């Protein structure tokens, strides 16, 4: 569930304290430090300022949930130190992509790669559907589930061992496999 807090809602230090992430959210977002709001003193020309820094989950102007690191001085001047898309938002996008894949492909991928998480199954499903993106991490996903891949495509076992199998080869083979699945499904539906 995405947050309903907007980045524009955080105007004061009290807002920053109120919306600071919880330890559970920090663990989900892989923030290993800075969980509690941190009070610091300014340096050099800002030596008389006190700064409060905290991580906050908030929606940007486009409605995308980000995790922000915000620093606010005692005059409530806000500085966004860093911002990145939250893991929660990425999971929502991934679930949507998975749902958009044709049902026969979802079933085939889940059967062929049973121990893969939804992220990996979605990357593989997109490759099988021909909707994969460059730099989607397909090589890493397949490398993590090498045995499932080799079981599905034993003809690639030798090339895998000799390290001559490329990500493009994998993407092409998955696309061919996905096309066969979709053709069989279309044929079965046509014959009924």
pLDDT tens digits, residue range 22-80? 888 887 777 656 567 777 776 666 778 888 888 999 999 988 899 898 999 888 999 99
Q: Which of 42, 64, 88 is the last residue of a domain?
A: 88
Q: Which domain holds residue 183?
A: 101-191
Spatial contact of 120 and 126, defined as CB atoms under 8 Å apart: no
Average pLDDT of the chain to the nearest whole number: 87
Q: Which of 88, 113, 140 is the last residue of a domain?
A: 88
Does residue 82 share a domain with residue 105? Answer: no
Count of the separate structural domains present in the chain:
2
Do 58 and 9 meet the contact criterion of CB atoms below 8 Å apart?
Answer: yes
- Tracing tokens 């980045």 back to the chain, one arrives at 7
Q: How far, in Å, are 12, 140, 152 from residue 101 at the CA level?
A: 44, 21, 20
What are 176-180's contacts with CB under 8 Å, separation 24+?
A: 177/108, 177/128, 177/152, 177/153, 178/105, 178/108, 178/125, 178/127, 178/128, 178/129, 178/130, 179/130
Arithmetic mean of pLDDT, 109-115: 95
pTM: 0.63
For residue 1, being part of any structural domain is answered with no
180 and 118 fall within a common domain: yes
3-class secondary-structure state, position 86:
coil
According to DSSP, residue 75 is labeled: T
Is 11 a member of any domain? yes
- Whether residue 95 is contained in a domain is answered as no
State whether 187 and 112 are in the same domain.
yes
Q: Going by C-beta distance under 8 Å and a sequence separation of 6 or more, which residues neighbour residue 54?
A: 16, 17, 19, 20, 21, 34, 36, 37, 38, 69, 70
Establish if 144 belongs to a structural domain: yes
- Are 121 and 187 within one domain? yes
Residues 113 and 142 in one domain: yes
- Report the helix count and the strand count for the chain, using DSSP H and E: 9, 4
pLDDT at position 186 is 79
Task: Give the pLDDT confidence score for residue 115 in this predicted structure.
Answer: 92
Whether residue 97 has pLDDT greater than 80: yes
- 152 shares its domain with 181: yes
Say which residues have a Cβ less than 8 Å from residue 71's Cβ, sequence separation at least 6: 51, 52, 53, 78, 79, 81
């Amino acid at each position: 569930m995405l947050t309903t807090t907007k980045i524009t809602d955080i105007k004061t230090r009290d807002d920053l304290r109120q919306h600071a992430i919880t330890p559970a959210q920090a663990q989900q977002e892989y923030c290993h430090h800075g969980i509690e709001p941190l009070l610091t003193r300014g340096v050099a020309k800002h030596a008389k300022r006190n700064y409060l820094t905290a991580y906050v989950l908030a929606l940007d102007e486009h409605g995308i949930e980000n995790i922000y690191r915000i620093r606010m001085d005692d005059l409530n001047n806000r500085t966004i130190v860093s911002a990145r898309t939250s893991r929660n938002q990425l999971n929502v996008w991934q679930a949507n992509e998975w749902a958009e894949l044709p049902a026969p492909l979802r079933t085939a991928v889940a059967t062929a790669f049973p121990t893969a998480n939804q992220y990996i199954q979605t990357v593989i499903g997109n490759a099988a559907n021909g909707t994969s993106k460059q730099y989607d991490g397909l090589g890493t996903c397949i490398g993590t589930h090498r045995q499932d891949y080799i079981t599905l495509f034993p003809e690639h076992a030798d090339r895998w061992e000799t390290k001559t199998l490329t990500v493009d080869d994998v993407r092409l083979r998955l696309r061919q496999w996905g096309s066969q699945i979709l053709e069989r499904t279309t044929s079965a539906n046509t014959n009924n």
